[in-house]
Amino acid sequence: MTLSISKLGDRLGAAAEGVDMNALVPNDAERLRAALADNLVLCVRGQKLEPQAYFDAMGVFGKQLPQPSASANHPVVKDLLILSSEDRDVLGDGQRLVAGAAWHTDDSYRAVPCSLTTLYGVEVPATGGDTQFVNMYAAYDDLPDATKARIGALRVVHSYAPSRQLNKVAKRTAEDMATMPDVIHPLVRTHPVTGRKALYLNPNRMESVLGLERADSDALLDEMAAHATQPKYQYRHKWRQGDIVVWDNRCTMHKANADYPEGSRRYMLRVIVEGTVPV
C-alpha cells in the first residue's frame, strides 16, 4: 500500500488513502502529522480497527486523554467515548442527543483544552450526519488590521454553561459542574506547532470578553462568530464508513448535523489528544 494525500475542501481538509492504522510505518506517521498541520482536518479513509487498536493508533497524533462522561464511555476501552444516534439526554428532556450540533471547538471550558479530536465512523448514515469545519486561521487572517489591533490582546471567559448560551448542551449533575470552574483564554491564539494565529471562539462556551461592557462583549463575540462561520471558511465532511477524521481544535471549529432520519444509525468512537495552555 502506498499512502496518498489529497485535498478535500478549498480552505481546509485532506484525505489520506492507502494506509492501515493497525500497522503504520514511521514515515507514513510523519506524513499524516504534516498533512494535519497543513490541512487542519485529516480524514484517513477505509480503516478497520478494533476499539483498543483505534485508541492506540491515535497515539501517532499525541497523548490520548481520558474522557470523563456521564454514560457514553466504551464498555471495554473506557477512554473511548461513544457518539451514537441512540444517545438520549438522560438528565434533560429525554430527546435524542446530538453532541455538538452548533459551531464549537472541543473542550474550551477547560484550562488545558484538548489539542485534537479524532472520530472513527464505525457506522454512518447513508445520508446526513455530515460534520462541518471552519478554518480559524483564515478567519483571523482576513480581519481588517484595525480589528486585529483591537482584539489582539483580548481575553475571554469560557464556561461549561455560559449565561449567553443559546445552544443546547448535555446537562451535567451539580457535582460535575463543581469540577468545571470558568477559565480564561485568549481571543486570538498562536498555534504551538505552526506558529500561526487563529481566532479562538466557542459560541457554546463563551461567557464574556474581559474588560468590556456586557453589550459590547456580546456584540463582539457575535460578530466574530458570524465572521468565522461564513461558508467561504467551511469544509463539510460527508462520512464514509471506516473514516477516521482528525481535527485540530486550536485552529478550527466544527459542528454536527442532526439531519439523519430516526432509525438510521450513526455510531462513532471518539478519542481526544492532550493540548497545551492556549496563548
Which residues are at the interface with ligand OGA (CB under 6 A)?
Answer: 83, 99-100, 106, 117, 119, 131, 254, 256, 268, 270
The CA-atom distances, in angstroms, between 53 and each of 31, 33, 67, 107, 266 are 20, 19, 17, 24, 20
113 forms part of the interface with Mn ion (CB under 5 A): no
- Return d(Cα 16, Cα 60) in angstroms, integer: 14
106 forms part of the interface with Mn ion (CB under 5 A): yes
Q: Which is nearer to ligand OGA, 106 or 207 (CB)?
A: 106
* Contact by Cβ (8 Å): 245, 43: yes
Q: Which residue is nearest to ligand OGA (CB)?
A: 100
User: Which residues are CB-neighbours of 67 under 8 A, at least 6 positions away?
Assistant: 73, 79, 80, 81, 270, 271, 272
- Return d(Cα 178, Cα 117) in angstroms, integer: 25
Q: Which is nearer to ligand OGA, 117 or 234 (CB)?
A: 117
- Return d(Cα 154, Cα 187) in angstroms, integer: 6
Q: Which among Mn ion, ligand OGA, none contacts residue 131 (Cβ within 5 to 8 A by kind)?
A: ligand OGA
Q: Which stretch binds Mn ion (CB under 5 A): 40-48, 49-57, 98-106, 269-277?
A: 98-106
Q: For the CB of residue 271, give the shortest distance to Mn ion in the complex, in Å.
A: 12
Q: Which among Mn ion, ligand OGA, none contacts residue 83 (Cβ within 5 to 8 A by kind)?
A: ligand OGA
* Contact by Cβ (8 Å): 55, 271: yes
Q: Which is nearer to ligand OGA, 155 or 267 (CB)?
A: 267
Q: Which of 9, 13, 100, 278 binds Mn ion (CB under 5 A)?
A: 100
